[in-house]
Amino acid sequence: MTPVTYFPHKNNEMFVEDIAISTIAKQVKTPFYCYSSTAIETSFQDYQNAFSDQDTLICYAVKANSNQAVLATLAKLGSGADVVSMGEIRRAITAGIPADKIVYSGVAKTQEEIEYALSLGIFQFNVESEPELELISKVATSLNTTAAISFRINPNVCAQTHEKISTGKAENKFGVPISKARLAYKQAASLPGIKVQGVDVHIGSQLTNLAPFEEAYQHIAQLVVELRADGHDISVIDVGGGLGITYLDEIIPSKKTYADMVKAQLGHLNCKIIIEPGRSLLGNAGILVSSVVFVKTGEERQFLLLDAGMNDLIRPSMYDAFHQIIAVNQESNALKTYDVVGPVCETGDTFAKARQVHQSDAGDLIAIMSSGAYGAVMSSSYNTRMLAPEVMVKGNEFAVVRKRPSYEDIIKQDITPSWL
Ligand code: LLP
């Protein structure tokens, strides 16, 4: 799936499925996020087909996009959820994802969160440290229940991705070092309220190459053999998420190629495989639609000043991420070079520098592509700008699936103390 597969131009006008983006923009006003339901469904089904001959549970990584419409779309197709907070558990359950399809990752789960997850009966905790294990044991015992656990193993593998989204090196805060894994499992087996069930690994995000996955999974396969020899009943391997997407011209292995590699590395161990994809399901299923407020001619550059900013999509300023920027209406085919920037009072509020875009005027619509994952979920109301609404499209229908708050909604969250 490329960034434009579900957002094609027809007669010089960008569509999402069967609706013109401009039709939605008229009703919803910019900026807004726009998702294609068919794109999400197709991506999910590609994973299902790729793993159809292997006992697999797809646990969508809710952090990528946690809108109820997205979660409900995936729930209907049988998805489970990989969650990292009580909030994400609540969102998943509310959208109809059953507790027994939820895996709970995260380095600093609190007692309250553990109690809540245990009370629901989630499928497994992906435990990231010995102190966390001890707390889960204590809470499970006090609730008279048992927690099914996997340790998240840190295999000390370089994911060859941006350092801020790389998680599998020894220097990262994630998981239990592989060198200490057998000891950790021994401790787990000795603690009350704990049932050892599997092994988990997640080395990073936006991987464009299978080699780091392969290396990590080889370590995991070896560990499973050792753990079984130690007497542990290992029936689940959670291979994490991380398969990348095409933002510009990256060539990404297909979901089938990825699945074949997972099966080749781990299939012989006869475990249930859990996968936790986020970006590869949602990334190219969504865009951020914005309007040009002004075209400004600086001394050295032309700026396209948009009504969307870094508060709406922080990836370019946070990770220097590249997103294609495409004019919604392309009647004129003249291209111009612009710095594409937002309204926020920071120089970092820049989506692209020296980028060729169709010549644009104030009021024209601009699409920032590949924004379905880690877009809306990372947005904020910095500069007291309102969170952009989200729209889901299916065929020729669309629905606002998160509405734009009002200024009153934002301001009334603050409380002026009585002495003022
Ligand atoms: N499982 C775990 C334990 C994770 O931490 C993550 C992502 C995933 C699965 C899903 O990974 P994915 O399939 O989406 O690559 N905000 C960053 C990405 C952060 C990823 C965090 N963990 C960005 O915008 O690039």
Q: Where are the domains of the chain?
A: 9-36+283-411, 105-277
230-247: string of b/e by CB count within 10 Å (b at 16+)?
A: eebebebbbbbbbbbbbb
Is 255 in contact with 243 (CB distance < 8 Å)?
yes
| 306 Cβ neighbours under 8 A, 6+ residues apart | 31, 290, 291, 292, 293, 340, 341, 342, 343, 351, 366
The three-state secondary structure class of 127 is strand
Residue 322 has pLDDT above 90, yes or no: yes
From residue 122, alpha-carbon distances to 192, 234, 290, 398 in Å are: 18, 18, 39, 33
Tens digits of residue pLDDT in 360-391 = 999 999 999 999 999 999 999 999 999 999 99
What lies within 8 Å, CB to CB, of 28 at 6+ separation is: 389, 391, 400, 404
Ligand 1 centroid from CA 242, angstroms: 6
pLDDT at 155: 94
CA 300 to centroid of ligand 1, rounded, Å: 38
Q: Atom 23 in ligand 1: which residue has the minimum CA distance?
A: 374
Distance 100 CA to ligand 1 centre (A): 22
The reported pLDDT for the residue numbered 172 is: 84
Ligand 1: nearest atom to the Cα of 279: 14
306 pLDDT more than 90: yes
**Residue 17 — pLDDT band, cuts 50, 70, 90?**
very high
pLDDT at 313: 98
- Please give the pLDDT value at position 389: 98
CATH code of 105-277, in short, is 3.20.20.10
How many Å apart are CA 381 and CA 406, to the nearest integer? 12
Q: What is the pLDDT of residue 163?
A: 83
What mean pLDDT is predicted for residues 354-365? 97
Contacts of 298 by beta carbon, 8 Å cutoff, 6+ apart: none
Average pLDDT for 162-173: 83
Q: What is the mean pLDDT of residues 74-82?
A: 98
pLDDT digits (tens, 9 = 90+) for 249-286: 999 999 999 999 999 999 999 999 999 999 999 999 99
40-51 confidence digits (pLDDT tens)? 999 999 999 999
Assess whether 345 carries a catalytic annotation. Answer: yes
| Percent of the chain residues topping a pLDDT of 90 | 95
Q: Which residues line ligand 1 (CB under 6 A)?
A: 61, 63-64, 82, 105, 165, 202, 205-206, 240-242, 276-280, 315, 319, 373-374
Pocket test for ligand 1, best of 59, 83, 205, 213 (most atoms within 8 A of CB): 205
- For residue 76, name the pLDDT band (cuts at 50, 70, 90): very high
User: pLDDT (tens digit, 9 = 90+) per residue, 93-141?
Assistant: 999 999 999 999 999 999 999 999 999 999 999 999 999 999 999 999 9
Q: CATH number of the domain at 9-36+283-411, please? A: 2.40.37.10
Mean of all residue pLDDT scores within the chain: 97
